[in-house]
Amino acid sequence: MIPARLRMGYWKRRWRERRDPALAWLTGANRRFRKNHPSDGDMWDDLWTNRRRLIQELAPGKSFLDLGGMYGIVGEMAFLAEQAGATRVVLFDGMDPSDEFDEKHRRNESRLRYIQGDLHDADHIASLGQFDIVWCAGVIYHSPNPLQQLMHLRHVTRERLLLGTHVIPEVPGIEQACVLYPGISAEMQATYAHVHGGAERFPGMAGPFDTTPLLAYANMWWGISPSALRSMMHYSGFEVTDEYLYSPFWIDLVVRPGGQSTDIYPALGLVRERARQRFADTPRDRLPTWADVEGDEIRSP
């Protein structure tokens, strides 16, 4: 084996990394990962093999929600859960159902139901009810509000959530770092594109932010480090039971309800109601001078 230092391009790469600390951070994480996890296999094969195994183990006899399984895989994991013996299967996604999905559904004589909706939509999520097993991959980094999405996932999860996401490597010396992608420079985008093999798959991170109306969620919004993700899980009411890091950039967590009790969060409308109650029985002439009264109406609170 030829020593790294004598290999073609080694010194050119090292010189580039010295000039670009972000590149050094990302490629250094890649190098360390490969050194600590030597593997001949393809990362994507490992990832999908592991996901299929988890679903085949967890789905039999359980209700199953695939949240975000339309694009690219056309409900494959939802159909797999059904074939593995899930009692009720729902695929929930923001996209229009594709012809391919329609065809697959008929071919499989599937009982799976498709619900088109947005994971940000608290009312729609509340109406979904709970599922024993929830699978959600490739979704939270597409949102400006990933924590809100995790809290919505907590509402629908009874036993286990399998959460897959793109991550950033830990940032040396900074606990629980996250990167906000929209607004980064073209140079920084080029660095991400270099590490991720091109700009196309990751608008907003490795290429220009897509400003097409209604397509904000096609972009990458947050680069979340594994330590930040664990903490986000904790504070959205989950406890991590298993973790699979396939590369410095892709992780799957298996989590169950636990962690921080979500009763620390005031329900929406609660503080408004509290303020309304405070003034409900107060005669008008006893209201404080700052009360926002117009005619007979106390507008705020």
Ligand X SMILES: C[S@@+](CC[C@H](N)C(=O)[O-])C[C@H]1O[C@@H](n2cnc3c(N)ncnc32)[C@H](O)[C@@H]1O
Q: Please state the φ and ψ torsions of residue 82, each to the nearest 5 degrees.
A: -65, -45
* Position among 23, 63, 69, 191 found at the interface with ligand X (CB under 6 A): 69
Binding mask 191-230 toward ligand X (x if CB under 6 A, else -) reads --------------------------x-------------
46 near ligand X, rule: CB under 6 A? no
Please say whether the beta carbons of 204 and 182 come within 8 A: yes
Stretch that binds ligand X, among 16-24, 35-43, 90-98, 171-179 (CB under 6 A): 90-98
- Other Cβ atoms less than 10 A from the Cβ of 123: the count is 7
Buried-state track 155-176, b at ≥16 Cβ within 10 A, e below 16: ebbbebbbbbbbbbbbbeeeee
Task: Compare residues 123 and 294 and give the one whose CB is closer to ligand X.
Answer: 123
- What is the C-alpha separation between 169 and 199, in angstroms, rounded? 19
70 near ligand X, rule: CB under 6 A? yes
* Position among 60, 94, 257, 301 found at the interface with ligand X (CB under 6 A): 94
Binding mask 127-146 toward ligand X (x if CB under 6 A, else -) reads ----------xxx--xx---
Strands, E assignment, 141-285: 157-166, 178-180, 222-224, 238-247, 250-257
Stretch that binds ligand X, among 87-95, 124-132, 220-228, 268-276 (CB under 6 A): 87-95
Nearest CA to 153 out of 190, 86, 54, 164 is that of: 164
Task: Compare residues 23 and 137 and give the one whose CB is closer to ligand X.
Answer: 137
* Position among 26, 73, 125, 153 found at the interface with ligand X (CB under 6 A): 73
Residues of this chain that bind ligand X (CB under 6 A) = 68-73, 93-95, 118-120, 137-139, 142-143, 164, 217
